[in-house]
Amino acid sequence: MAEPLRILVVHGPNLNLLGTREPEVYGRTTLPEIDALLAEQGKAAGAELRCVQSNHEGELIDQVQAARGWAAGILVNPGGLTHTSVPLRDALLASGLPVVEVHLSNIFAREPFRRHSYVSDVAVGVVTGFGAASYRLGLEALLGHLASRRST
Ligand code: CA2
């Protein structure tokens, strides 16, 4: 039997607060609910997910570096680090793994400082503005990308 695809899901700073504050911006779905939905979606597609959240940039970088050894791809919502973190970008690039960037809100429809992402140009693609569904769409896109690479 083929090895399951393993995917690292990375949630950046403050995303542990999902569902508790600012529901008008980020929705009412909690992070454990998002992770459970992703795990179910992954399982149906034969993929195993490891979901991590941290409020610490260095911890996220450690997780991305370690993923090189076991994961086939990375689904990431870098949170506020999207707009600030060259080190997280460097780690994602250094992993050599395909990355899909997701955001709950539409970062292009918000404050000007959110319109630039340090991650987007090292990602295969970006899904932004669909609430919790951004994660579902992002995982679908990442799995599709990996499948197309496997079959060529
Ligand atoms: O829309 C997204 O997913 C963001 O990545 C969320 C980040 C924000 O800095 C980005 O510009 C866009 C913020 C995550 C904070 O999440 C909270 C959730 C609930 C309550 C407060 C913050």
This prediction has a pTM of: 0.97
Distance from the CA of 15 to the center of ligand 1, in angstroms?
A: 6
- Supply the pLDDT for residue 1: 61
The number of CA neighbours under 13 Å toward the Cβ of 84 is 7
| pLDDT tens, position by position, 18-33 | 999 889 999 899 999 9
Res 150 pLDDT > 80:
no
Q: Which residues sit with their C-beta closer than 6 Å to ligand 1? A: 14-15, 17-18, 21-22, 26, 77, 79-80, 82, 103-105, 107, 114
What percent of the chain is modeled with pLDDT above 90? Answer: 92
| pLDDT tens, position by position, 68-78 | 999 999 999 99
Phi and psi at 105, nearest 5°, equal -90, 165
Mean pLDDT to the nearest integer, 40-59: 98
